[in-house]
Every structure is written in C-alpha cells, then in structure tokens.
Structure 1
Amino acid sequence: MSNFVQLEINERNRWVYFNNYRWVAHIVYWVWVLFISTIMRAKGPITPSLIYNHFFLSNLLIATFFYLYCLYFIPYFFKRNKNLQFWVLVIICYLSISALDVVFGKAYIHLTDPIDKDINLSFSKIYYSKLTSYLLNFLFFSIMLFFMEKNEENSILLEVENEKKEIEQVKLDLLKNNINPDFLMRSLHQLKESAKIPEETTPEAILTFSDLLRYRLYRGRQLYSPLKEELSALQSFVHFIGLDHLHHRLHIKLAIQGEENEKCIAPLSIVNLLEPFCKIVHDQAVLLEIIILIESDELHMDMQYESVATATLLADLEEYQSNYSQLYGDAIKLQYESLEAEKSFSVHLTLPLVEQQVLQNT
C-alpha cells in the first residue's frame, strides 16, 4: 500500500470518527433529557404511552428548532459569515416554533403522569413559558455544541499538522528514490569490476562508497540534515570519484569557505547536484571546480565545468530544480549557463540554511 493511499484512508477514518463522536454526544444529551424530564418526574409506571407523550411528542418541535439551528443555520449562514440572515432566521424560528409548540401540545400531546398545572392556562402564558424553556435549552445546547466544535477543531488542527509532516516525508522519500538511481547502480558495477583488479585503492573505494550509501539511507529520509554531515558526504563523494580513476576521468577540485557548525541544510541537496556530472562518460580528463561559501542563512555553491554541457546534464539539472523546489519552495535558487566560446559550463546554487536550535524549538 502506498503512503498516499494510507493518508487518504487516515483522512476518511478521521471524519468517520468525528461524525460518530458528534452523534454519540447527541445521543447522550437526549438520553439525559429522557431521564431528567420524563423518568425522574413520573409518579407511576414507565409505559410506552408515557415515553411517547412526555418525551417524544413533548420534545419534537424543540428538537426541530435545535437541529435546524445546528445542521442548517450554522453551516450555511453563520460559517459563511451571513450573520444578519443567521440571526434573523434563528429569531423567527425561535418565536414561530415556540408558538407552534403551544398549539401542537394542546391538540396532540396527552400528558397524564403527572398532569401539568399549566394545562388550562391561556395561550399567552403557556407561550411565555415555552419561550423561557426554549431559551434556556437553547443556551445549554449552544454551549454543548461550542465545546464539541472546539474539541473537533483542535483535533483536526493536530491531525492536519501530523498529515502535513507525513506528506512532506512522503514527498521527500519519493524524491530521494527518484534522484539518479542509475548512477548508484553504475557505481556498484564499477566497484565490482574494480574488485577484480588487485589495486590498493579498491578497498578504500568500497568503504567510501558504503559511507555515502549509509548517509543517503539515514539522512535522506529527514527534512534537514546537519551541514557538517552534508559537507562530509560531499567530500567522501569527491574522494570516491578520485579513487575510481579507471572509470571516472572527472577531476574535482573542492574548496569550502565559512563556518559550518550549528547549521542544517536540505539533505543530499549538494551531493545530488554533483551526481549528474559523474554520470557523463568522459573520453578525456575534465576538470570540475567547486567553491562553497557558507553564510549565516545561505549556502552558495559555484561549479565550473570545463566541458560542454550535454542534453542529459541539462535535463538532470532541470529535474533537480523541480524536485527541490517542490520541497523547499523559492528558497532554493539554481542558475546555470553555457559558455560555448570557452567550451565550459557554470552552475550557481543557493540553498537556505537553518540553525539547529531553531529546528529543535519547532
């Protein structure tokens, strides 16, 4: 099962949970009304007729008012900032349904246990009593609804925050799995061929490449990595290219300026930019100069490639820019330029840096 399918299932389960939670709260409320207003007040036996008249019919219209309020007025008017229409409809329903409840009670409700003292009162007095009862119940119901909505809102915010992190992790995993797998396979093949030749550098090349794979596996799944480790992986990469002189005719000069302590960077963002240059099969020795400048909140990387850029290299650079822009937005800037007259190709990369203390506090 893919991670995106799992996120969709989590979303559906969350809404099912909240809908079930909401209905359970309503059921608890009406059970409480049944117990307090009917069972506790009954003098004689609890019969179906008593439940039907004293609970079901007596609360039918007030329940109609409440559910018009919470299922129609709130979502379609209040939450859409139609405040005037919302309050006009609430007041109209409050006054009209209360009056209708008086007429309905006299015509259809047969209270027998105990018989209400107000049964023979005038319409105006019963209506006033209904208005008071509706208002008190409305306030209680509104408070209960407010806390239910607040609890649901907090839970949703927490779930959304967790799902954002999961989505970022999924995107990051897909990105890492998509960047130059052919280079990894070719490097493993070259190591296999090198192992057949008894050279002193072969064991060191195998150990260096294993360090690179270990860094990719453990740090590649994270959103940020310590800059010190990223630069160390880059240096190991450069060293690995230098050791494998039988297959790589790319000579790399690396210079790093600035302090790298207490800073974090997008993992593999530097290493992955070097990989497209190593994929190219060189017929003769080619120089690649890399200068890295570390500032307080940015890292600048200049690459001078002493050869003409191939169509594959340009496509890889475009894919690199697209992938990392999806993860880190416009903070990552990649510019490249071909100098046909000099038969060279230059790349300038700007990456955002984050303080480790800032990440620990988030």
Structure 2
Amino acid sequence: MSNFVQLEIDERNKWVYFNKYRWVAHVVYWIFVLIVSTIMPAKGPITFSLILNHFFLANVMIASFFYLYCLVLIPYFFKRNKYLQFWLLVISGYLIITAADVFFGRAFVHLKDPVMLEKDHSFLADYIENLYGFLYNFLFFAIMLFFMEKNEENSTLMELEKEKKEIEQVKLDFLKTNISPDFILRSLHQLKESAKIPEESTPEAILTFSDLLRYRLYRGRQTQTPLKEELSAFSSFVHFIGFDQQLKVVFHVQGDAENKKLAPLALINLLEPFCKIPNPEPVVLEIMLLIEANELLMEMNYAANATPQLLTDLEAYKENYVQLYGDSVKFQFERSQNDVFNVRLSLPLVTIAL
C-alpha cells in the first residue's frame, strides 16, 4: 500500500514542478519585455511612472488576451474538441480586446518617455495599428506556449510511462507474493493442533512452514529466481502438505533445472487452492513437472470433484499468470475421465548464459 501512496506523492510533486517551470518561463519573458521595450529605449531616468505606463498599463490588455487564451480557451474548448467555439472566441476576443485596448490607452495610459505622441490619431488608425501589434505579440506568445506545452507533454508522457511501469511492478509483486489467508489459517491451526500432541513431526513441520514463508519474503520481490530454488521450495511445500492427513501429494520431476530461471512462486501459488478444500476422506493430488529447454510443463491430476471455490481460485490465478507472462503462458483446467480434475500449465523459462 505504501508503494501506491509514494506514487501519488510523486505525481503531486511532478505537477508542482511543472507549474513552477511554466510560471518561471512567464516571469522571464515579462522581465525580458520590461528590459527591451521599456528600460533600454528610455531617454530619461527610470521612474515608477515610466514603468507603470510604458510596461504595466501598456501591456495589460495584450496580457489579458493571451492568458484568457491559454488558461481558458485552450483547456476548456480546444482540448475538449470544441474547435468551432474555440476559434469564434479567439477571433472575437482578438477584435474586442484590441478595441478595448484603444479605449483603455486613451483613458489611462500616459506615454511620455520614450514615446512622445506628436498628434492624436483617430480611433480607426489606432485600432488598426493595435490589431497588427496584438497579432505579432499573440503569435509570439502562441509559439512560446506551444513549445512549453510540447515540452510538458513529452515530460508528462515519460513520467506517466515510468509510473505505469512502477504500478505494474507493484501489481506483479503483489501477485507473486500473494498468499491465501485460508491457507495461512489452516496451516497455523494445523501446527497449533500438532503442537498439543508430542509428535516427532511437529518441529519439522514448523521449520518447513518457516522456510516457505522465508522464501516468499526474500524471493517474492525479485523478477526471476533460479528454477532449482523454486523446485526446492515447492518440494518443501509438498513435504509440509504431507503432514496433513487429508491431502496426499505425489510429486514427479523430469528434466534438467540447471541454469534456468522463472518468476518466483509461480509453482507454489498454484498448489495453495488445493490445500483449502475440506476433504472428508484422503485425496490424492498427482503433480508432474517436465523441464524443457525454454519451457516448464506442469500437469496436476486431482482425484476428486472440483469445488466452485477451486474453479474461482484457478480462474483468478489464470489472470495472474497472464499478467505475469502475457500470451506466452498456457493455462487450462478441466474434468477428465474417472472424476479426475486436470490442470495443465506451461510457463516460459529463462536460460542463464554461462
């Protein structure tokens, strides 16, 4: 659970970083405009009145138009595929805010230095002049916004791909280390009952069960484990089940397990559903493993009827194996002749290069 919490924290930190990056870019741009268009052309001293009129008031309308464009029109119209409304609002805003800029400039902006107004222009002349000025500034703004959005999009895609892999790894770790609570409770109950009776097999059963839990803890988080270790843990599991008088496991292995790997717990997990079935009489579970060059074949013959819970568990495990191995896994189970339930599993093996 902590892994998912950490991913959520990383996601929030990422968006905080992107927002800081975007606003830093905007601040740098406006500082550049202040220096180039106001401070450098100034013929006299840099006063508060000069910065107020020639920078803040002179650019308030074009800034309003651009930030209306990038904060409202793009996210709420363009990115939602409302293209007709988007372009109508862009063009309308361009024409209306440009006209508002002329009125605003005449009423509130007092340009003295470095721009001296030699004569009053008509509203139409100022409007046409502002249309060109707005267009040039808007195109520059739009180009800057495009590259910022593109950079953010690429960074976001990379982060999302990374987080997707991390989340999938968390899911796979959970699948590999998942242990049936019913099996744990039954095993602990079995050990508790055995401990009440002074039997020679009780210490061995406790040690064997401890080895199985230790194997889950240390090997379950790894991507691959040597096939020999998995078979050893599987043999310990079979040996531990042998202390139960109701399920008798017959285990056969053919082939060479040297220099081969597979996902840890891939075999052990499949054995657990059969340990949960309450059997009034002893039932035999025959398991045959065939180790080939790049594949492990497993066949299980259960000499009893499959319960609905067993079928449900096997369906869940089938989905888990598909998530772990993809299409390379083959998992089938069916009732065969003489009321024997048959399970067949094929897993890919990784050969260790010498």
With structure 1 as the length reference, what TM-score do the two structures score?
0.75
Amino acid at match of 2:235: Q
Aligned residues: 351
d(CA) in 2 for partners of 1:133, 1:296: 73
User: Counterpart of 1:32 in 2: which secondary structure?
Assistant: helix
Partner of residue 309, structure 1? 306
SS in structure 1 opposite 2:338? Answer: coil
Query: What is the DSSP-based 3-state SS (H/G/I as helix, E as strand, rest coil) of the residue aligned with 1:59?
Result: helix
Q: Deviations over 1:56-78 (max 9, x none)?
A: 22101211221233123333444
Moved more, 161-170 or 279-288: 279-288
2:14 aligned partner: 14
- Summarize the Cα distance change of 1:45–1:313 in structure 2 as closer, same or farther, 3 Å threshold: same
Answer with 51-60 or 98-107: which moved more: 98-107
C-alpha deviations, 1:91-143, integer Å up to 9, x for none? 55445544553454334321122233676556676556545543443343233
Structure 2 residue runs without a partner (length 5+): none
- Identify the residue that residue 288 of structure 2 maps to in structure 1: 291
How far apart, CA to CA, are the structure 2 residues paired with 1:63 and 1:354? 62
Residue 287 of structure 1: SS of its match in structure 2? strand
2:273 maps to 1:276:
yes
Q: Which shows bigger deviation, 45-54 or 95-104?
A: 95-104
Aligned pairs (5 A) from 1:216-255:
216-222=216-222, 225=225, 227=227, 229-242=229-242, 244=243, 247=245, 249-255=247-253
SS of equivalent to 1:342: helix
The separation in 2 between residues aligned to 1:259 and 1:84, in whole angstroms, is 66
Q: Residue by residue, what CA displacement relative to the aligned partner does 1:165-211 show, whole Å, maximum 9, x if unpaired?
A: 34234434554565323424544565573797574x77765555444
Whichever residue aligns with residue 109 of structure 2, its letter is I
- Cα shift at 1:227: 4.8
Name the counterpart of 1:145: 145
What are the residue-to-residue correspondences of 1:43-122 with 2, within 5 Å? Answer: 43-81=43-81, 86=86, 90=90, 93-94=93-94, 97-98=97-98, 100-116=100-116, 120=120
Tell me if structure 1 keeps the 8 A contact 2:304–2:341: yes
Counterpart in 2 of 1:360?
Answer: none
**Aligned letter for 2:344?**
H
Contact 1:38 1:55 in 2 (8 A): yes
Change (3 A) 1:179 1:161: same
Asked if 1:349 corresponds to 2:329, the answer is no
- Matching residue's letter, 2:306: A
Q: What residue identity is the alignment partner of 1:39?
A: I
* Cα distance between partner residues in 1 of 2:128 and 2:139: 17
CA distance in 1 between counterparts of 2:238 and 2:118 reads 94
CA contact (8 A) 1:190 1:247 kept: no
Question: Which one is further off, 310-319 or 158-167?
Answer: 310-319
- The answer to whether the Cα contact below 8 Å between 2:176 and 2:266 also exists between their aligned partners in 1 is no
* Change in 2 beyond 3 A, CA 1:127/1:315: closer
CA distance in 1, matches of 2:213, 2:13: 37
> Alpha-carbon deviation of 1:220?
1.9
8 Å Cα contact 2:247-2:275 kept in structure 1: no
Give the structure 2 partner of residue 28 of structure 1.
28
Query: In structure 2, do the counterparts of structure 1 residues 150 and 297 end up closer, same or farther at CA, with 3 Å as the change threshold?
Result: farther
Residues 264 and 356 in structure 1, CA contact (< 8 A), matched pair in contact too: no
Once structures 1 and 2 are overlaid, which stretch shifts more, 109-118 or 181-190? 181-190
Distance 2:143 2:103 in 1: 29
1:274 CA displacement: 0.8
Superposed CA deviations along residues 259-278 of structure 1, whole A, max 9, x for unmatched, are 7855534x323211112223
Instruction: Say if 2:298 and 2:346, in contact at 8 Å, map to a contact too.
Output: yes
Partner AA of 1:212 in structure 2: L
What secondary structure sits across from 1:41 in the alignment? coil
Structure 2 equivalent of residue 162 of structure 1: 162
Does structure 1 retain, via aligned residues, the 8 Å contact 2:177–2:220?
no
Distance of aligned partners of 1:355 and 1:146 in 2 relative to their CA distance in 1, 3 Å threshold: farther
Q: Is the 8 A contact 1:77 1:83 kept in 2?
A: yes
CA separation of 1:44/1:218 partners in 2, compared to 1, >3 Å: closer, same or farther?
same
Deviations 1:125-166 (A, max 9, x none): 655654554344334323322332233223322332232234
Structure 1 segments unaligned to the other structure (5+ residues): 358-362
RMSD of aligned C-alpha atoms? 4.1
Q: Identity of counterpart residues, as a percentage? A: 63
Distance 2:28 2:285 in 1: 73
State whether residues 241 and 248 of structure 1, in contact with CA within 8 Å, keep that contact through their aligned partners in structure 2.
no
Change (3 A) 1:308 1:35: same
